[in-house]
Amino acid sequence: MRIGVVDIGTNSTRLLIADVDPAGHVDELVRRSQVTHLGAGVDASGTLSDAAMERVFATLAAYRTALDEAAVPADARLAVLTSAVRDAANGADFTAVVRERFQLDARTIAGEQEAQLMFLGATHGRDPGDRTPLLVFDIGGGSTELVVGHQGHVDFHISTQLGVVRQSERHLHDDPPPPRQLQALADDVRSVLQAQIPLTVRDDAQLAIGVAGTATSLAAIEQELEPYDPGRVHGYVVELGEAELLLARLAQLPLAQRREVVGLHPDRAQTIVAGTVILIEVLRFFGIQSFEVSEHDILHGVMLERARAT
């Protein structure tokens, strides 16, 4: 069946259209991503701004055209809204507009459900006989989802408030950020992880998979991909030491120069430093020395969930 899924996140709005067969094989037809900064200022104000919502609406109008051109059935046009909308006082009203104006089956999902759908997408297609405990992490704009599981089964999941937009607004006030601001951000990340993740969970995970913008951007920067090539990003392994070197390089550049870094989309230059700090602290906390990058994330998870329900 043909399914279209829109992920309306804190930092970006993404679209995936694909055909899914009864065995769960996903044949991607259309994939798009637009940095829309929906969550800009939400941490301080508690509401989605009119300008931010209009950026998303403009992107959804283009996505609606793509869904029409791909002849996606009306009952298979889905949208999930995550951290920024969960946290905003006007989030429910925004979701209703998305649903009605763009004819999407739109729902704001809880952090726990976001984590489970992300894990489903990231681990689908892996060897079902592999019992290795996996850590799957998604560093988003307003939150970071962390899931530990094995053989497709979730053993532990949590949604934290460690988002790249949120942490940038809280800690990185200068351009480029001085060491004391980077250290404050890292300290904040460590304190959240220590408070919310049991040591037994930390010690269980053996391999890590990173999905979404920070993880894919680091893989693209390291390979100097211009233009971006999903085929070379998916499955790429980034060592912790390499991520630390990339942070040192990116953090010393002012924003205008970060926008010119080969492999980094200019719209992600503003949040890549915070994202890389979060990523490094997650790996250090779990004692894992590298991570595999996956292009399969919550978009695939929502799509697989919908296909299984038919």
Supply the pLDDT for residue 308. Answer: 82
- Looking at the structure, tell me whether residues 236 and 284 fall in a common domain: yes
Instruction: Say if residues 18 and 3 touch (Cβ distance below 8 Å).
Output: yes
- Which amino acid makes up residue 2? R
- Looking at the structure, tell me whether residues 99 and 126 fall in a common domain: no
Q: What is the pTM of this model?
A: 0.86
Specify the 3-state DSSP secondary structure of 239. strand
Evaluate whether residue 6 is within a structural domain. yes
Sign of the CA dihedral running 98, 99, 105, 110:
positive
Specify the 3-state DSSP secondary structure of 79. strand
- Looking at the structure, tell me whether residues 92 and 164 fall in a common domain: no
CATH number at residue 51: 3.30.420.40
- Looking at the structure, tell me whether residues 46 and 78 fall in a common domain: yes
- Looking at the structure, tell me whether residues 28 and 65 fall in a common domain: yes
- Looking at the structure, tell me whether residues 105 and 127 fall in a common domain: no
Supply the pLDDT for residue 81. Answer: 93
> Low-confidence residues of the chain, pLDDT below 50?
none
Q: Choose the final residue of a domain: 54, 83, 109.
A: 109
Q: Choose the final residue of a domain: 83, 109, 135.
A: 109
Supply the pLDDT for residue 129. Answer: 77
- Helix segments in the chain, DSSP class H: 42-45, 50-69, 83-87, 91-102, 111-123, 164-171, 179-196, 199-204, 213-223, 230-233, 240-251, 255-258, 272-286, 298-308
- Looking at the structure, tell me whether residues 154 and 282 fall in a common domain: yes
Instruction: Output the CA–CA distances (angstroms, integers) from residue 265 to 13, 177, 260, in the order listed.
Output: 14, 20, 9
- Which amino acid makes up residue 92? A
Evaluate whether residue 287 is within a structural domain. yes
Evaluate whether residue 300 is within a structural domain. no
Q: Could you give the angle at which helices 240-251 and 272-286 cross, rounded to 10 degrees?
A: 150
Domain span holding position 82: 2-109
CATH number at residue 183: 3.30.420.150
Tokens matching residue 118: 């992300």
Give how many domains the chain has, as a whole number.
Answer: 2
- Looking at the structure, tell me whether residues 168 and 80 fall in a common domain: no
Supply the pLDDT for residue 45. Answer: 86
Evaluate whether residue 117 is within a structural domain. no
Evaluate whether residue 30 is within a structural domain. yes
Evaluate whether residue 72 is within a structural domain. yes
- Looking at the structure, tell me whether residues 130 and 97 fall in a common domain: no
- Looking at the structure, tell me whether residues 104 and 129 fall in a common domain: no
- Looking at the structure, tell me whether residues 128 and 190 fall in a common domain: yes
Evaluate whether residue 146 is within a structural domain. yes
Q: Rounded to 5 degrees, what angle do the CA atoms 292, 295, 297 make?
A: 100
Supply the pLDDT for residue 19. Answer: 95
Evaluate whether residue 52 is within a structural domain. yes
Counting Cα atoms < 13 Å in the Cβ hemisphere of 309 gives 9
Supply the pLDDT for residue 273. Answer: 97
Supply the pLDDT for residue 110. Answer: 84
- Looking at the structure, tell me whether residues 35 and 60 fall in a common domain: yes
